Chain A
């Protein structure tokens, strides 16, 4: 790492090859085939976490359905924290998005009339979730990438971005390491897009991939980019008990039910109309209440059961094939006969980089964020199942357009060499750090995750959160001592792991600070000390920024275009 970094120059650079990044790339190449565009990804793009999204993608494609209902239910689901214009925009463009994916080859399941099949999903009255078995994310990502492969995009896969180059509120690109050689490179670019995914790995129990460490979000934050609604973390009701592997909402969409230790279908009590298909925050809270009140299952009484065995053989084998095999594999349960042990686990992070336009603009010129790493916000305080795939593709496309406009209007500014050097030094220091008394990245990570899970879980309160924040502050010393044992150059995953843990730590601090500041209960953010929603003071986005080394949290009004906040009943 001692050699001088190579410099590469592009008009636009996309970091992250999941659905949002890939869709933005397609749009950009279509609009501007002659521009120099590159995509960097920590993993091979087809390994991105988008492939894990299973249940489906929402769009009102049925004649009897309307995008307006979809928009209303999205806003209601968000507990009115979504920006209403953004939610409307997404739902209005949902139909064309799904049909575009269809034309690109996505393998949706079918109805007898040859149409795309739809299933009911949580928080929505109409069965609006278009699906491909229970591998919808996989087919969508493959379809977009098949387009990209045929377009000849320059892809730097297995490269990790270490910092964003920002000076005087302008973004110049990124510093990145080629994992295959260990060499550091500068990507000098007019526009830079982060599509780096969520930060689910902040929690101990999570359904998300090992790679969802919020790298982009943390890197941007350190470079002065604002973050929004970081306290809004979705806990999915049905993570497998031992492994936390996701059991898709499709299981309940197709008729699966949740049972407590008394074999009661407890959701009837919490959501008399929607029952097991209430929105995710409602179901996860209900499960935690059952567990807290002693009606959990097992020797530790710490989980509940998901029953699908009463469904028809056809439904199970054709529509819930993946659910059956995951239950069999990871819990040893034959779900056609027995119930599956499940418990809530972190699943999606509604918060992220503060977007100030639908195309992902931020407070830094030339820097965009899209997908789960951004926050437009359409999901507000609670995302509906089937809306994540939709938001990545709809806004990925808009992002491509806005980036195109940006690179057309703006010229590349020469690189501020001192900023580049500074960030390189940090990596070199990390690699050279004396291993005497060093902290292993994995050990520190587990500590962060334990604090976050214990103090910032489904139920939160001031006392607990303050305690958690103090513990995080104490952990700072450990984070400083994180060392890299592997001194090799090629595929130094030890170094990557260390960087990821540092990223996770920075985000944990932002989550803690934002959660403490929001003194109300809204969507996924449930406070025992403030059990009610407080629209007067908190119908607002929390905006976190870095000042010196402190995290500052302010609030900004939600965009309301006429959907009046009401009490949520399911």
Chain B
């Protein structure tokens, strides 16, 4: 992944003589002591934000308090938010982060309580979490100092963690649950479990999973990996931990509703437990003509719709077919042969179940001779691109597919002059960047340029946008704890409303479901639509998103009912219900 530090390295440094550092001041000792204070300071080329802060402190206000020591990104002391992003002050050049007014904003990291100015309390949220992971090499055999180069290189990046806390500052799961062990701790545990000198791998994973705040809670939003100054890539570490746990046969017991969804997906092929035939209805016959083909002969795209799109937001598959038609391209629609991508199972720790559907899907892709896949869901894109590749490699299966999105496809078609927008849309639109698409795929300009290309649209950006975009909180979280989802999403809703946009567009079904869940009580008037709706409207068609939304409401009610049903049961009854349905149906299923 291209990290923030990498991106800043490529940026040219502004030549400055003076900057204004705007501090968020705070002192736990005094009441109402949170305020902003600005200081002007002379800077030289190459000067770090830390140097500038220390200069302000030494020359202007000695009470400014922060942690710092090595000033070369090794000790991990000086993590703070710089212009709202968690970074190491010593490793960030002032001339690269100064805004057009010559200002650099500095504030303490998030998810940890501020003590004084830029100093936060890391004891419980960070250090205790690190200790909980039992990160110590257990070398019972005292092997004779042998380790392969290959193994060393596999974990080298994980051992580069300097425990600065940057990955905790804006972590979505940490916001949801302060017990969550967090990215750095997971990376640290994985580092040992992957070490061939270690004898404790399985037990370590089992132990950390039995404690509160286990890795399952990670929303896979990848903000940690984007901000990590040492390229540890904790998000990938969580991915690997999920896979590693499954190879050890450790299955996590997720909350009942999440388990039901996983079980549905394995047994029926979709998360709702409905007939797979329903998937065929998503694209009406008249739209299919001259677009949908049975198998790919000329390297046509395969369209992997995803459960939410194929069964709820059916406007999306229809939109996709129209976009293909307008572009003069053909595609394979998997319809009833498409199984859930595996995401819900992965997220609730049922990796073995996930593997079943994944292998089945790979078989279908091969049968239909598809080499390129179009997705309309951020999660599908991630699972098909990342987890499938890891899985295929592990099982020696040929899987060399290009995974892309309908957004990317539309953008290319527009660039080639094949898609032409005809109808203006007179609206203020803000765009919510789905986590995987923006940070891992790097899809920043494509959606914005598409919206901009339509006459009369006006894009307004949220406070956290593009690669700094906040996570929706995920429907997985919403199913587990609706109130918590509302709580963490309220920040995002505030940002949406601050833009005064009429419409918020996004390119991911689960994001839209999560926002519907989080808006249940809030009732914000901002309309949430799929980006494809805007595209086809620009192309002169009328989107049928209302139908999708109705379906979603009904399904959410169903889930709520299910959740209530489980909540009335004792944990034992819950277990029995799940085990009964789970085991029975899993046995019957033979993908």
Contacts and interface: CB of A to CB of B under 8 A. Distances in A.
A77 interface: no
B62 interface: yes
Nearest to B135: A146
Interface string B128-164: 0011001111010010011111001001100110110
Nearest to A489: B29
A115 B91 CA distance: 34
A114 B46 contact: no
B38 interface: no
Could you tell me the dominant secondary structure of chain B's interface residues?
Answer: loop
Contacts of B45: 332
Interface in B67-81: 67-77
Interface residues of A, number: 63
Interface in B26-47: 27-29, 44-46
A289 interface: no
B145 A329 contact: no
A48 B163 CA distance: 12
A149 interface: yes
A110 B69 contact: no
B231 to A, nearest CB: 9
Contact of B46 (A44, A142, A330): A330
Contacts of A246: 72
A441 B75 contact: no
Contact of B70 (A49, A105, A242, A491): A49
B148 A209 contact: no
B37 to A, nearest CB: 14
A209 B163 CA distance: 17
B303 interface: no
Contacts of B67: 43, 47
Interface stretch (A79-87, A133-141, A377-385, A420-428): A133-141
B195 interface: yes
A488 B27 contact: yes
Interface string A235-259: 0000000110110000000000000
A142 B159 contact: yes
A114 B148 contact: yes
B589 to A, nearest CB: 42
A190 to B, nearest CB: 28
Interface residues of B, number: 58
B192 interface: yes
Interface string B320-345: 00000000000000000000000000
Contact of A47 (B75, B155, B197): B75
B29 A488 contact: yes
A331 interface: yes
A323 to B, nearest CB: 11
A243 B46 contact: yes
Contacts of A114: 146-149
Contact of B127 (A44, A132, A488): A44
A102 B144 CA distance: 9
Nearest to B122: A44
A103 interface: yes
Contact of A331 (B46, B147, B152): B46
A107 interface: yes
Given A146-B136, A491-B115, A441 B197 contact: no
A474 interface: no
B9 interface: yes
Nearest to B57: A442
Given A105-B136, A114-B149, A138 B155 contact: no
A328 B163 contact: no
B62 A485 contact: yes
A105 B74 contact: no
Given A51-B162, A139-B159, A115 B145 contact: yes
Interface string A266-287: 0000000000000000000000
A180 B162 CA distance: 22
Contacts of A139: 159
Nearest to B191: A107
Contact of B62 (A46, A49, A441): A441
B149 A111 contact: yes
A133 B148 contact: no
A46 B75 CA distance: 7
Contacts of A331: 46
Contacts of B44: 242
A107 B134 contact: no
A109 interface: yes
Interface string A429-461: 000000000001111000000000000000000
Nearest to B28: A490
Contacts of A103: 137, 139, 142, 145, 197
Nearest to A182: B29
Nearest to B130: A149
Interface in A138-173: 138-139, 142-143, 146-147, 149-150
A51 B74 contact: yes
Contacts of B29: 488-490
Contacts of B131: 149
Contacts of A329: 9, 73, 91, 93
B116 A490 contact: yes
Contact of B72 (A43, A46, A52, A242): A52
A209 B137 contact: no
Contact of B69 (A47, A105, A180, A494): A47
A146 B137 contact: yes
B62 A133 contact: no
Contacts of B116: 488, 490-491
Contacts of A440: 58, 62
B152 A138 contact: no
Given A48-B75, A107-B155, A242 B46 contact: yes
B197 to A, nearest CB: 7
Contacts of A332: 13, 45-46
A111 B146 CA distance: 10
A104 interface: yes
B119 interface: yes
B63 interface: yes
B58 A442 contact: yes
Contacts of B93: 329
A527 B569 CA distance: 85
A485 B58 CA distance: 11
B59 interface: yes
B14 interface: no
B65 interface: yes
B588 to A, nearest CB: 46
Contacts of B192: 105
B522 to A, nearest CB: 37
17 contacts: A44-B77, A44-B127, A46-B76, A103-B145, A105-B137, A105-B197, A107-B152, A112-B149, A114-B147, A135-B160, A210-B70, A328-B9, A442-B58, A489-B29, A490-B29, A490-B115, A491-B65
Going nearest first, the 8 A-B pairs with the smallest beta carbon separation are: A105-B137, A442-B58, A486-B63, A146-B136, A114-B146, A107-B159, A47-B75, A491-B116
Given A104-B137, A105-B137, A149-B131, 8 more contacts: A46-B75, A51-B74, A52-B72, A105-B198, A135-B74, A149-B136, A330-B46, A486-B65
Interface of B: 9, 13, 27-29, 44-46, 48, 57-59, 62-63, 65-77, 91, 93, 115-116, 119, 122, 127, 130-131, 134-137, 139, 142, 145-149, 152, 155-156, 159-160, 162-163, 192, 195, 197-198
